[in-house]
Every structure is written in structure tokens, then in C-alpha cells.
Amino acid sequence: EDTVGRWGGDEFVILLAGEDVLDHCQPIARKLIEEVDQTIVVANASYHLGASIGIAMAPADGDTAEELIRLADLAMYRAKVAGGDCFAFVSPELNRSSSERLAIEVDLRQALRRNEFEIHYQPQVAIGTHRLTGLEALIRWNHPRLGLVPPDRFIPIAEESSLINEIGSWVVNEVGRQIQAWRAAGAPLVPVAVNVSARQCQDLALVDIIRQTLERYDIPASQIEIEITETAAVQNMEHMTRLLGELSALGVKLAIDDFGTGYSSLAHLKCLPISVLKIDKSFVGGTPDNHEDRSISRATIALAHSLGMKVVAEGVESEPQRAFLDTENCDIAQGFLFSRPVTAAAILDLLLQGQGPAVASPDVEVGTEP
């Protein structure tokens, strides 16, 4: 007899028993994926349902419930990375990855106390004039043993372990402190975009954190822009409408990041107080040669402008890309063509110059942004 239970949120646990469990767990996994795979309509918006399944076997993978669930969870995330709507087994490679992941999580819990994080800032420039119009704050972790750990390696771990709220609060405070420092140095200010994860968006305390930061450093709310991903924006429309409404009431600007990679619709966008859409770099990277990427970028720019929003193109790495976006009336560009993320001291120099950076100098490597 098999047992099914809801583990929490959108996660379920199934316990299969029997001597031939290895043989029949795969057909069961396939059947579950087939049954879940469907499209539903809620409030005139369509949503695709899918399932990713991780499978751990006893006693080969572990002999306690805690260990089996932990490994099955890791296998599930591997299935998600593979594209979803599939299943994955625990493997020796996964066990090694689990050990590395656990080590990073342990170190993450000490990183704030040890002051190992720092913020770099990537310029955003007016696409026609290259003048500096804004910045995006990007966290960096100077690990004492591993060196500079890229965000895509530790942010997902922070999100899964609930550390992201503490780290996110630190980022907001650090950005506020830095804006105050730039102003004290006599620099003209530009808005700074701060990325907020889906997990942070679940807590209305985010509004208080940002309000307290603005008050603590006596900075205008217009100097802060909050970026959320398209997927996070539509996870819980009632909650997100309230959260973003309260943030907008503070006076901060709101942006949708990675636009085009999620499942939002016009019905969602028009309900949210968004002022900026950011075209994901996966689309910008294919312009101007790829027809589909050109069409998506062109349509996004037209959509945003029709809704009164500005458009930021991420990952601009070549002059042909910039020229195409300029022709399509994109407002702002960000990418290695103009500047990689740099230190706060380097940004101070740019602000004091009163203009944005020129194209990358020869010693700047052009490549995928961290």
C-alpha cells in the first residue's frame, strides 16, 4: 500500500513500498507527470501546470526518512533544471553536489557576520547618448576559501534555506548606505535597482525594510527601484497587487526583470504599478540576427510603451545589438558593451563626471554577465 502526503506548498511526498518498487516507480512517475500536465484558466488567464519528480531509494540512497527526503528533493531540483515535466533519480554525482551545497549553506550562514558580501553596480545608460541613467546593485560573495562565488551559485541555496530574507535585507540597507555616501561626496544621484526574490516577495515586511532604509539614510524613495522577476510577479496576484501597491505608495519605482521568460499576461501587467520592463538578455543576445529574438524584443518595447513603461535591455554586448535596440526606440541599455559591474568607488567617479561610460575599453572582457 502506497502513501501520499502534502509536504508543504506545492510539494508532495509519495512513499512506495514493495520488493519490486524499482520497477514500478518509473511508470508511476510518468503517469503522475502526464496527469498533472494540463492548462487551466483562472480569471481569463491561462496557466500551464507541470510536475518535476525526484526519486530516492532505500536503503541504497539512505536509511532514514530525513535523508531520503533530502536527496529526493535534490533530485527533484535536478529534474527542474533539466526542463521540468520529468523525473530524476539520486546519483553519486548528486550526492557529491549535495555535500558541496551543504558546505556552501553552512558558510552562507557565517558570511554576513564575517562581512564577506559586497555590492557591485552595473551602469544603465540611455541607449542613444550613453549617458548614465541608473544602476543595478549586484551582490558578490568573497568566500575566504573559494574566492569570488558567483550569485547563481549561492542565491538559489539562500532562497531554499530561508537565508535570502536576511541577505536581501542587508542588500537593501547597503544600497541605502551607499546612496547616502555618494550624496555626501557631492555626486548627482541616479536610481539604483535592487533585485528582490520571489521568497522575499512573500513577506509584507519587505515594505517596512525599504521604508526604514529610506528613513535611516534620509534618501528620496525615487532613488530606489525594486526589481522582481516576471514569474514572481504573478505567483499570487492578490498578494503581489497589495505588496507592489504599498511599495509604489512609498514612491519607489517597480520593474519586471527577465521579461519574456515567465508566464505573465497583459491582464496581469495592467493590474500592477510597474514602471519599467527589462528585456531578458536571452532575447537581446540573439539580436539583430535572430528573427524570433528581434520580434520578441520589438514586441516587448511596443507593449511597454503602450502601457506607459520604460524599457531596459539587459545583456547588450555589441554595437549591432545597441543599434537595433536604438532603432526600435528602446529607452535604456545595460551590458558589457558599456560596462561590467564595478565597485562603488568606480561608480562615484562616473557620477562626478556627470555622464555614462563609453563602450568597454579593450581590457574589458565581453561575455556572459554574472
Whether residues 303 and 197 share a domain: the answer is yes
Whether residues 83 and 143 share a domain: the answer is no
pTM of the model: 0.74
State the residue range of the domain holding 243: 109-353
Whether residues 252 and 314 share a domain: the answer is yes
What's the confidence (pLDDT) of residue 362?
Answer: 31
Whether residues 149 and 86 share a domain: the answer is no
Whether residues 119 and 167 share a domain: the answer is yes
Output the 3-class SS for the chain.
CCEEEEEECCEEEEECCCCCHHHHHHHHHHHHHHHHCEEEEECCEEEEECCCEEECCCCCCCCCHHHHHHHHHHHHHHHHHCCCCCEEECCHHHHHHHHHHHHHHHHHHHHCCCCCEEEEEEEEEECCCCCEEEEEEEEEEEECCCEEECHHHHHHHHHHCCCHHHHHHHHHHHHHHHHHHHHHCCCCCCCEEEECCHHHHCCCHHHHHHHHHHHHHCCCHHHEEEEEEHHHHCCCHHHHHHHHHHHHHHCCEEEEEEECCCCCCHHHHCCCCCCEEEECHHHHCCCCCCHHHHHHHHHHHHHHHHCCCEEEECCCCCHHHHHHHHHCCCCEECCCCCCCCECHHHHHHHHHHCCCCCCCCCCCCCCCCC
Is residue 104 situated within a structural domain? no
List own/partner pairs for 109-114 with CB under 8 A and 24 or more apart. 109/163, 111/141, 111/143, 112/166, 112/167, 112/170, 114/144
Retrieve residue 142's grid coordinates. 568573497
> How crowded is residue 158: how many other Cβ atoms within 10 Å of its Cβ?
24
Whether residues 46 and 141 share a domain: the answer is no
Whether residues 84 and 137 share a domain: the answer is no
Is residue 370 situated within a structural domain? no
What's the confidence (pLDDT) of residue 115?
Answer: 93
Query: In which residue ranges of the chain is pLDDT below 70?
Result: 1, 93-99, 102, 261-267, 354-370
pLDDT digits 0-9 by tens, 271-311: 889 999 999 999 999 999 999 999 999 999 999 999 999 99
CATH of residue 13: 3.30.70.270
Is residue 361 situated within a structural domain? no
Is residue 362 situated within a structural domain? no
Measured CA to CA, the distance from residue 233 to residue 255 in angstroms comes to 10
CATH of residue 162: 3.20.20.450
Q: Which among 228, 263, 260, 264 has a CA at the least distance from the CA of 243?
A: 228
Measured CA to CA, the distance from residue 71 to residue 319 in angstroms comes to 46
Instruction: Give how many domains the chain has, as a whole number.
Output: 2
pLDDT digits 0-9 by tens, 148-171: 888 888 998 888 777 899 999 999
Whether residues 66 and 178 share a domain: the answer is no
Whether residues 50 and 160 share a domain: the answer is no
What's the confidence (pLDDT) of residue 132?
Answer: 92
Is residue 163 situated within a structural domain? yes
Whether residues 268 and 120 share a domain: the answer is yes
